[in-house]
Chain A
């Protein structure tokens, strides 16, 4: 420990680098440009949307598990969407499915996850006072807020929110007369998503430029924590894929409102021919999935980055295969752009083209397996500390493996044609992308809560929350695979007309009960979260004995993150349990010249580099020139 403390003490000088001016309430908490406040805004908004999104899934699970049950007790919430007989309105069922998907994918797991942790961790872990542009960062959040507001409003309009599935395929979404959800609800959906894309772009530009330009002295790219690598590549994915969705959405808006035929051709509605000729609905699917598939990794990669960090810290071992982890992130990101058509095997695509996309898709198994095995080998013979964050990270690895395996099945075009649009697909992506990313979100909150609020979450409640959620998630999604293999199609309000459909009612009932159970288990977390924010045990500076730079800041991090100079970085972030060292962790800001007893031979060469690092120009945003 002495090594650590000695170093923390030496940067108290130059305290007057920026004068501390008091900001008023609005600038400090509402229109704040501080990355930590913006991260918390994203987190609270994300949690708000998660509650709504998951509650919606519980409502449609009621219909699936108990078809035609009397739901009139929901009338106070749903009003006219519960019919006279007490059944859920089929139109609203479709709207719920659509909104659940949209909210969870974009608002919770894209904005909520990246917005929270990229904002919070990038400046803290690369050693910067704040994001490159605090102003654009603030704009990014408020664009997200407005986009959420539009989506929220759409839930309450008379014709209901968008109901064509979160993929909003035309012609269903393009023609207001096709379904009530394609009226005002769809208009608001498109407006909301256009604003969301701007928000995502502003956020991503900030993340990328901050990582490139504002790393502290000595923080080379190969000393970046894997969280930062994951956030960086995620931001690049967003920068490249979201604009294609923007194009797709703009063309769709023109088809809906200005009479163009980009996606429409030869359509009859109620026996009447529409004038639109020459467009292609398949074109929309190509554009959508060019975003849609990278989006899966935009959701998942931050969770994997968080997991890498937490597993290494709590195994008290260096991450296994640091560079392989970086390479696998990049390989996944690259492959993400050339596999989109595996979502479209049943669109009448040329089977040969299908086999190419199948081949490329299956290659993703390689970097994914690299990641999975690296997690397992990091855990192997580690001094594992089972904090709630660690449990959720291990849970993520479990979900990543079990969901990834079904991905190999679905990636095969021959199998996918059988399983397409069944609950097998639903089970697959809920495990590998939905639940896994949610686990990453939880892990991140449990791990960095002390840094965010200066207080600890209750560990026992965290453990209870983990086990209830972990068991609940598997109880929901494991049986769902069988329902899917049996041919039960997704997005159907009811599927009991055939006898074989009826025989899966029991299993559906079981899934629904498990879903309700898992939903209520989350209130353990919500209580813990809000209670601990104000009443939790006061945190210490480095509660998990972690190496990364955020733990060198004061317990309650102020504006500018570090009092005095930003620490320089001399080593990678994974020096845990290093042979010869008296302590089991050596933070990144400890020079090799202070740890002669534990240096590897090649690391002694870095001692010469220390002078160069200290001579490096001081990239302090707040320093006056």
Chain B
């Protein structure tokens, strides 16, 4: 908070000033995000390692059927839409989710920009849109998880050894120990990584709400700075960026 105005400073690294014109809070957010990057990277690298220890599906895409023997093709798994039961719509729903989340980043940028202009009403408006976008994303994710957990109508017939004897059973949907779409590890990582990301989005929505609330009570106006909007903005953009990677690794490749 110290030294918001820095008159006539020629050498910003000479001490006594904030060299990057960023408050300690903003720097902390940046370094926290660096740290969090490594948390997610570790998870995504683990996903990659386990994924490539399984064989990929070798046949024609059109003939694809789920089996624990090979890694599934994502667009064959994530092809459901709410209210459109039985329609094959590969990656449409997750595409909409992604668009909503990225659009909430745009409204966040607008909120930050409004904060620079000290325009309280506009900050309130755009924070609200951002919160709405985040909440919608979480709602979509809840639906997607529910569908993933309940599975398709027909399920997958799985043959496995239990206590030394081969048994055949039909598996519907997915949990952490077995799933109808492919190897158990596929669902394990799906739940863990999208869940971990979802937790981040949830914290982001909570933080955004806090900032919205404080904006609307006029706290930042009295303080004379909307820097808190910038800080939660950094976090929000980061969460979006992480989703881009999660989306790429789980749904596209």
Interface residues of A (CB under 8 A from B): 127, 132-133, 136, 201, 204-206, 208-210, 212-221, 223, 239-244, 246-248, 250-251, 254, 258-262, 272-273, 275-280, 283, 286-287, 290, 568-569, 609, 612-613, 615-621, 623, 625
Contacts and interface: CB of A to CB of B under 8 A. Distances in A.
A239 B34 contact: yes
Given A239-B31, A239-B34, A612-B11, A261 B185 contact: yes
Interface stretch (B48-56, B78-86, B129-137): B48-56
Contact of B192 (A136, A243, A251, A286): A251
Interface in B1-38: 2-3, 6-11, 13-20, 22-25, 27-28, 31-32, 34-36, 38
A213 B38 contact: no
A132 B188 contact: no
11 contacts: A213-B27, A242-B35, A243-B42, A250-B192, A278-B50, A278-B184, A283-B49, A616-B9, A617-B16, A619-B3, A619-B15
B7 A617 contact: yes
B42 A260 contact: no
Contacts of B7: 617
Contacts of B16: 215-219, 568, 613, 616-619
Contacts of B248: none
Interface in B193-231: 196
Nearest to B185: A278
Interface residues on B, range: 35 or more
A28 to B, nearest CB: 24
A247 B46 contact: yes
Contact of B176 (A127, A248, A260, A618): A260
B163 interface: yes
Given A243-B38, A250-B192, 5 more contacts: A132-B24, A213-B19, A251-B46, A280-B49, A616-B16
B39 A219 contact: no
B69 to A, nearest CB: 11
Q: With a 10 A CB-CB cut-off, give which of B3, B7, B14 has the most chain A CB atoms.
A: B14
A381 B38 CA distance: 46
B50 A213 contact: no
Contacts of B163: 272-273
A209 B27 contact: yes
B161 interface: yes
Given A243-B36, A260-B176, A621-B2, A254 B188 contact: yes
Nearest to A200: B35
A201 B177 CA distance: 33
B2 A620 contact: yes
- Nearest 5 A-B pairs (CB), nearest first? A217-B16, A132-B24, A247-B42, A616-B16, A219-B15
B192 A209 contact: no
Nearest to A210: B24
Contact of B31 (A209, A244, A287): A209
B34 A619 contact: no
B189 to A, nearest CB: 8
B161 A619 contact: no
B235 to A, nearest CB: 14
A315 B216 CA distance: 61
B166 to A, nearest CB: 13
A613 B2 contact: no
Contacts of B162: 275
B188 A261 contact: yes
Contacts of A277: 183-184
Contacts of A283: 46, 49-50
A278 B23 CA distance: 47
B31 A208 contact: yes
Given A243-B36, A277-B184, A220 B14 contact: yes
A124 B163 CA distance: 66
Contacts of A220: 13-15
Nearest to B17: A617
A262 B46 contact: yes
Contacts of B3: 617-619
B43 interface: yes
A245 to B, nearest CB: 9
Interface in B67-109: none
A262 B50 contact: yes
Contact of A213 (B24, B43, B196): B24
Given A221-B13, A247-B39, A617-B6, A209 B183 contact: no
B34 A290 contact: no
Contacts of A250: 192, 196
B17 A619 contact: yes
B49 A241 contact: no
A526 to B, nearest CB: 36
Nearest to A206: B28
Contacts of B32: 201, 205
A617 B185 contact: no
A215 B42 contact: no
A254 B49 CA distance: 18
Contact of B35 (A127, A201, A259, A620): A201
A286 B39 CA distance: 14
Contacts of B189: 262
B8 A213 contact: no
B185 A132 contact: no
Contacts of B161: 273
Contact of A244 (B10, B15, B42, B54): B42
Contacts of A136: 28
Contacts of A133: 24-25, 28
A537 B238 CA distance: 54
B188 A215 contact: no
A240 B18 contact: no
B15 A260 contact: no
A235 to B, nearest CB: 9
B27 A212 contact: yes
Contact of A262 (B8, B36, B188): B188
Nearest to B177: A259
Contacts of A258: 176
A216 B3 CA distance: 13
Contacts of B192: 250-251, 254, 260, 262
Contacts of A251: 43, 46, 192
B206 to A, nearest CB: 17
Nearest to A569: B15
A132 B32 CA distance: 15
A361 B27 CA distance: 32
Contacts of A279: 50, 185
Contacts of A216: 15-16
A273 to B, nearest CB: 7
